[in-house]
Structure 1
Amino acid sequence: MRSVHVSISGRVQGVGFRAWLARTAAAQDLSGWVRNRRTGEVEAVLCGSEGAVEAVLTAAHVGPAGARVDEVLILGDAAPVDGAFEVIATV
């Protein structure tokens, strides 16, 4: 199992990135969360099997149509999150 905290920058707000990431993570059976940051980034915690987390990280480098991803930065390990993957409030 792997649990990582990530920050995604570029044109990632206003293009459906959070909903897309939530669907992509749920399809890989990940738990965790995603949210917008007032600074313009999208922040997420991805928890699940090593392969599933890597698949979502790889997909996040492209994102949904309309997005322009400049960087996917792994901020470090995160405390594991149980339950369904969810979109949470902006901070």
Structure 2
Amino acid sequence: MHDPDDKSSTLTLHLPDEVATDAFGHQLAPLLHPGMVVWLDGDLGAGKTTLVRALLRARHHAGPVKSPTYTLVEIYVISRIYWYHFDFYR
């Protein structure tokens, strides 16, 4: 269970634009493995879906990657790994 007050596993980054976000996503993607949870927190329009898109593209997902604003969750299956992209903004 994630403790939001536990900052030992928290990384805060300022990615100035979509290019930087995409580059970071491609660097981060190979480090992710089944069972990991990545929690993205930021204002509306901060680039959370842009980062998810970069992560999925780095894992060779060619289909659309959209914000789950209306569906609440988008599921992607890549190499037998299930990626769940939730929107808890509401």
TM-score by length of 1: 0.34
Report which of the two has the higher share of helix.
Answer: 2
> Could you say which structure has the greater relative contact order, defined with CA pairs below 8 angstroms and 6 or more residues apart?
1
TM-score using structure 2 length? 0.34
- Name the structure where strand makes up a greater proportion of residues: 1
